[in-house]
Amino acid sequence: MKTGIPLFIIGVTMFILGLMLFYLIPVGENNILEFIKNMGAFIGLSGIGVTLAGILLYLINKNEQPIKENYDV
């Protein structure tokens, strides 16, 4: 099963959501909004990791043709 492509899509979505949470919430005195902004940074960094995992899984699970050794001489 190809798990690399869905992981890549989920990772990119997490990264974009993290960027939005981090940059669109203003810094203020409200602790709850500051916590959400910090969670945006965490979600964005996690999204980078998930995207990298998706790319690596996709590259590892590529169906390559096995090497055929011809011993007929």
Query: Residue 73: its pLDDT value, please?
Result: 65
pTM for the complete prediction? 0.77
CB 31 within 8 A of CB 66: no
Which residues make Cβ contacts (< 8 Å) with residue 7, sequence separation at least 6? 50, 51, 53, 54, 57
Look at the block and give the residue holding tokens 């190809």. Answer: 2
pLDDT, tens digit (0-9, with 9 covering 90-100), for 17-54: 999 999 998 887 888 989 999 999 999 999 999 999 99
Report which residue type is found at 42.
F
